[in-house]
């Protein structure tokens, strides 16, 4: 049958109208998908994998130790439906672009997705794209330049995953068998725990020494205000005032002494801006300046990176937040220098400021910086939450400041001599006052949350040598020497980085795992090991010293980097570690006596329900008392920590209603209402009054020991109020 030309034309039109297949872009999170979808238009579909869809099972080791440590991957429980949807979307697409994060974990996610999609749709082209920031320009550039999967980066992630699985799934069963069910051990976490426990031992062993300082208010005719200065020299030596009596003696000698300016020194200093943030520096600064935990910092940074609605547009406000580099792209340098030229032209250096990348840095990503320097913190106030704005502000300030001129300061130090009047003025005591004046603000002009002490310090009045002064009033103050500080999020991250333990992506999870397992608790932002944490750390340190050795762990990190650089075969690296490690695990399993039950301690206390003796046991949240008649009697109660100074009863840990904040009160409540917000120190009684000793904390003195009795002056700060 002949086909008319008209019908042929209609068929061609129908074929021409057939829509082209869309390109599927797969990212990790819905927030990121939402941002990127706005940039790419109708030809693209953007879906989220929600992290790993394929991983090792949790129920078993799933590592073939006899055949190159090949991992046995499965679809993550509860994620099969999503994986099937993505496979279906890929089948209907003309091309698939895998856009997971540009790091080891992201590369592994892309690798698993490629394999899973290829198994169902062999003819669909699958490519990898990566970017450092979520902006229209960066996304379009990435889409226009797709590449393949970085197999070396995948191998590095696989090696880390296998290594951590071998350590955890060998040590944890050993702890269950020898110590207590439900315990676990990890490679990097165990090293961090050891550091925290060793520091705690130093804190506990430290004995504070008493010392005093002496300040004085001086009056001069040249200014209406008093000058507060501190005694820095007494009879030619640095004053070592051990008691109030010594201070009182000096005050008596200087009460009516002749005083005059004996020396004035001026020192000019050039202050350079700090480099832009790396992950660890951002976490440390956010902890110190904003009071953020490392986990919170990374959560807020993730929000800023993935995209925030700014009016009608949606934009990623910072570059990728997991990096160990201070490198800045050429385009970003041009943009920030243009902004400085328009807003602070006098503080624009002739050439861009360059910062050296650390020797241990992988330098895979740029430093953390704002994607658009035009988005100043002030311009974003109405669009960001309080936490987002504060974190964005320090990122923006640090980056912008790093490309501005140095600041210059002048410090004036004035020595005031105080001594007996006579023919030749002889100063027995030297009091010193110092003040700093900013000569040139430079980069400090853009700092608000990151403003330095130099910028905030007051200047001193204009005085000359021999100008007379009068000591109006003396102020003596008691102090106690401070022991080593406990680790905080900021300081443990700094230590881990300095020792080469972990990488930018692991700092926050390491701290979180220790807290979740209750090996460590937070107290006044300090990381304090629990009894359980100390026990686990002690056992691992004794029987597996290599596993918890900082230098050894750092070496393993370096080898993982070499795997990513294609310098080392990952199965060989794992074999070198695993064989001696497994032999040690087997040996300890045979020879180590079980700790189970050995920690149980019979007490003289009696169960108030059945009359049987109470046993001291170790639980997930520390020691507690349990009835020896278990399981017939399931009575438990808290361990007595001290004797109540009011009624002689037991002081135990209690928690407030609602927020569950811990405090310490008498077990005889409500008959006795004694409470303390400070934790009693075990077996430590005040030698002066007999009340129990506690560990106190205040911003001025940090953590320090003291008597709980407000009327007792033994190791008791004069500025503390009654907290009991």
Catalytic residues: 320
In this structure, are residues 240 and 214 in contact, taking their beta carbons and an 8 Å threshold?
Answer: no
Name 47's Cβ contacts closer than 8 Å, sequence gap at least 6.
Answer: 24, 25, 26, 27, 33, 85, 86, 89
Name 372's Cβ contacts closer than 8 Å, sequence gap at least 6.
Answer: 135, 315, 317, 335
CA distances from 591 to 258, 544, 558 (A): 77, 14, 33
CA distances from 629 to 575, 597, 604 (A): 49, 15, 15
Report d(CA 130, CA 141) in Å as an integer: 10
Q: Which two tokens stand for residue 146?
A: 């797709």
Per DSSP, the residues of 538-597 read HHHHHH-TTTT-HHHHHHHHHHHHHHHTTSS-HHHHHHHHHHHHHHHHHHHHHHSPP-TT
In this structure, are residues 484 and 457 in contact, taking their beta carbons and an 8 Å threshold?
Answer: no
Report d(CA 560, CA 341) in Å as an integer: 43
Nearest to 223 by CA among 424, 440, 433: 433
Which phi and psi (to 5°) does residue 242 adopt? -95, -15
In this structure, are residues 535 and 620 in contact, taking their beta carbons and an 8 Å threshold?
Answer: no
CB atoms within 10 A of CB 503: 23
Q: Which two tokens stand for residue 126?
A: 């699958």
Report d(CA 705, CA 680) in Å as an integer: 10
CB atoms within 10 A of CB 120: 14
Nearest to 323 by CA among 355, 287, 362: 362
């Amino acid at each position: 049958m002949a086909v008319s030309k008209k019908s042929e034309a209609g068929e061609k039109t129908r074929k021409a109208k057939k829509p082209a297949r869309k390109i599927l872009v797969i990212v990790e999170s819905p927030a990121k998908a939402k941002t990127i979808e706005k940039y790419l238009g109708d030809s693209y579909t953007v879906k989220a994998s929600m992290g790993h869809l394929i991983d090792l099972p949790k129920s078993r080791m799933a590592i073939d130790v006899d055949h190159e440590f090949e991992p046995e991957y499965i679809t993550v429980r509860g994620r099969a439906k999503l994986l099937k949807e993505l496979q279906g979307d890929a089948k209907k697409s003309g091309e698939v672009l895998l856009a997971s994060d540009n790091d080891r974990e992201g590369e592994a996610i892309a690798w698993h997705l490629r394999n899973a999609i290829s198994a169902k749709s062999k003819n669909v082209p699958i490519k990898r794209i990566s970017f450092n920031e979520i902006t229209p320009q960066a996304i379009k550039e990435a889409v226009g330049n797709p590449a393949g999967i970085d197999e070396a980066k995948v191998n590095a992630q696989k090696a880390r995953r296998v290594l951590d699985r071998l350590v955890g799934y060998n040590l944890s069963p050993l702890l269950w068998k020898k110590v207590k069910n439900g315990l676990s051990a990890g490679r990097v976490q165990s090293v961090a725990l050891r550091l925290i426990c060793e520091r705690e031992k130093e804190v506990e062993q430290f004995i504070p020494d008493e010392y005093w300082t002496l300040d004085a208010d001086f009056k001069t005719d040249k200014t209406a205000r008093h000058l507060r200065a501190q005694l820095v020299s007494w009879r030619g030596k640095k004053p070592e005032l051990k008691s109030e009596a010594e201070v009182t003696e000096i005050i008596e000698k200087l009460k009516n002494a002749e005083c005059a300016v004996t020396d004035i020194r001026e020192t000019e200093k050039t202050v350079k801006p700090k480099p832009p943030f790396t992950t660890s520096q951002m976490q440390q600064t956010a902890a110190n300046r904003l009071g953020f935990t490392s986990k919170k910092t990374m959560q807020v940074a993730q929000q800023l990176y993935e995209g925030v609605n700014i009016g009608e547009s949606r934009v990623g406000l910072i570059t990728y937040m997991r990096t160990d580099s201070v490198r800045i792209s050429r385009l970003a340098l041009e943009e920030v220098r243009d902004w400085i030229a328009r807003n602070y032209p006098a503080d624009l250096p002739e050439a861009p400021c360059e910062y050296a990348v650390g020797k241990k840095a992988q330098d895979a990503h740029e430093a953390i910086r704002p994607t658009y320097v035009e988005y100043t913190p002030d311009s974003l106030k109405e669009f960001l939450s309080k936490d987002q704005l504060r974190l964005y502000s320090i990122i923006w300030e640090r980056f912008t400041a790093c490309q501005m001129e140095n600041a210059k300061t002048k410090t004036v130090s004035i020595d005031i001599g105080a001594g007996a009047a006579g023919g030749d003025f002889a100063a027995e005591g030297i009091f010193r006052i110092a003040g700093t004046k900013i000569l040139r603000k430079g980069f400090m002009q853009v700092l608000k949350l990151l403003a330095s002490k130099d910028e905030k310090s007051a200047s001193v009045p204009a005085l000359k040598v021999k100008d007379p002064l009068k000591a109006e009033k003396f102020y003596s103050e008691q102090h106690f020497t401070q022991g080593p500080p406990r680790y905080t999020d900021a300081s443990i991250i700094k230590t881990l980085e300095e020792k080469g333990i972990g990488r930018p992506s692991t700092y926050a999870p390491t701290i979180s795992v220790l807290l979740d397992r209750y090996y460590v608790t937070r107290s006044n932002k300090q990381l304090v090991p629990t009894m359980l944490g100390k026990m686990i750390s002690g056992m691992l340190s004794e029987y597996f010293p290599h596993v918890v050795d900082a230098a050894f762990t750092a070496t393993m990190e370096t080898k993982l980097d070499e795997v990513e650089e294609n310098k080392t075969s990952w199965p060989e690296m794992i074999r070198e570690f695993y064989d001696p490690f497994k032999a040690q695990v087997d040996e300890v399993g045979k020879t180590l006596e079980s700790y189970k039950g050995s920690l149980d301690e019979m007490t003289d206390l009696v169960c108030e329900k059945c009359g049987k003796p109470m046993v001291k046991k170790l639980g997930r949240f520390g020691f507690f008392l349990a009835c020896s008649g278990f399981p017939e009697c399931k009575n438990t109660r808290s361990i007595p920590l001290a004797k109540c100074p009011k009624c002689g009863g037991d002081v135990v840990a209690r928690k407030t209603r609602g927020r569950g904040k811990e405090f310490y009160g008498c077990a005889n409540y409500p008959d006795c209402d004694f409470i303390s917000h400070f934790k009693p120190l075990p077996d430590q009684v005040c030698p002066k009054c007999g009340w129990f000793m506690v560990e106190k904390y205040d911003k001025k003195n940090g953590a320090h020991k003291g008597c709980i009795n407000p009327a007792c002056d033994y190791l008791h700060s004069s500025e503390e109020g009654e907290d009991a």
